[in-house]
Amino acid sequence: MCHCLACQRRTGSAFGMQARWPKDQVEVSGRATEYTRISDAGDERTFRFCPDCGATVLWTNGDWPDVIAVPIGAFADPSFPQPKVSVWGTRRYSWLSLPEGIVEEHD
């Protein structure tokens, strides 16, 4: 769970959530539109969108070239497991509380 300002702007939400896998365990196919931006921390992020509906389908992070992140909402599965880690907590909205068991990493 990420509370960084750029994630909030990109998702239009109070946070962004993703699941991450090693790149060699993910098969990517189909059409996608790419957009690259620089994160709050100065890292390059490349997002891939469905060219038909505009939904983010995955992204990569220049700091972790061997990892692919997929937004949890892309799975359309309400039983998807709860997040384990929260980052950028200093930018979390004051009314947002985290469920028990989530580890907060320091910004």
Shared-domain flag, residues 71 and 23: yes
SS3 content of the chain, % helix, strand, coil (to 5): 15, 35, 50
Shared-domain flag, residues 29 and 72: yes
pLDDT at 103: 83
pLDDT at 21: 94
Would you say 102 and 84 are in contact if contact means Cβ atoms under 8 Å apart?
Answer: yes
pLDDT at 1: 52
Which of 23, 63, 15 shows the shortest CA–CA distance to 42?
63
pLDDT at 7: 65
pLDDT at 34: 94
Q: Which domain holds residue 77?
A: 18-81
Which of 69, 35, 68 shows the shortest CA–CA distance to 50?
35
Profile the chain (107 residues) by mean pLDDT over runs of 10 residues: 61 79 94 88 88 92 90 91 83 84 77
Shared-domain flag, residues 74 and 89: no
When divided into structural domains, the chain yields a total of 2
Q: What is the DSSP letter of 9?
A: H
Shared-domain flag, residues 46 and 3: no
